[in-house]
Copies of this chain bind each other. A is one copy, B any other.
């Protein structure tokens, strides 16, 4: 129904061979000026565009890369994608975005489709459900270019780009401690994710350095990234219902911080008077949401850029790469002035 013009059409119309037309179009020198002009003008007039599919088939590359993330409705990821696009665009690559919605199965389906040769490389941040990497291993062993960012795995040896989650978590927790909080809960993503592990370690270290005992009842995981009924809400409620109720919550992750605010608001819990809040977030709004909210911001855009540069390097390298980099970018902590004063309760 929609029949675009091809080289063959041009050749027929002009009484030339397809190869001549092809050469004229790509500006080959071994062609007479007049034939070239003829062809180019005809192509122009009929708005000829080379068929990228045919090109991909021929060149065995698509000049496109795919990003696999859990959700684009997450400030961290949408910012990372902007970084990815900025580099890809400059290097002549198209970017295909696909969402796993935190589902292992969906992640597999997407990766299968994309990797089976419609993209030249993969930029992956693992879904919350994923704890099995055979699929990536297969691809990687065959030499298919993959770069992990943010939620990575140690089981695959390739380039990786992460934020310094340990330090970020350490810093927020310390800020809460400095502000006078002692019963600090930690609401985080699935326990096995790299980001969860690193953040938990940072949190524990900050407690330890300040002689605050670690209480594992204070750690709640949202294993499905909040994709399942009211996972976050339940987690928060169960924290608030503890006999020894926490006086602060450190939330790991943009979406968790956002839901935390939403749920606490809905429950009419005063922040920070009843429970203080601090956490990872890249939301442009979070900073100004509540006075007293300390926020760790990930260098999302830069992470996207860096990961893309590494991926393209991988794609364009002639021989198999054996040396892989792991790049750790620093997070930034924004402490709101007012968070320093905790209302003296039993002092």
- Interface, chain A (partner B; CB < 8 A): 1-4, 47, 49-54, 56-57, 62, 72-73, 75, 78-79, 81-82, 85, 94-99, 112-113, 116-118, 138, 142-145, 258-259, 261-262, 265-266, 283-289, 319-320
Contact = CB atoms under 8 A, between A and B. Distances in A.
A142 B48 CA distance: 13
Contacts of A283: 285
Given A57-B54, A73-B79, A118-B53, A2 B285 contact: no
A51 B116 contact: yes
Contacts of A117: 4, 49, 51-53
A108 to B, nearest CB: 12
Contacts of A72: 72, 78, 81, 97
A95 B258 CA distance: 27
Given A72-B72, A262-B287, A289-B289, 15 more contacts: A1-B320, A3-B142, A4-B116, A4-B117, A51-B117, A52-B113, A73-B75, A73-B82, A94-B98, A95-B98, A96-B96, A258-B285, A259-B284, A262-B285, A285-B285
A4 B51 contact: no
Nearest to A106: B89
A158 B196 CA distance: 47
Nearest to A286: B285
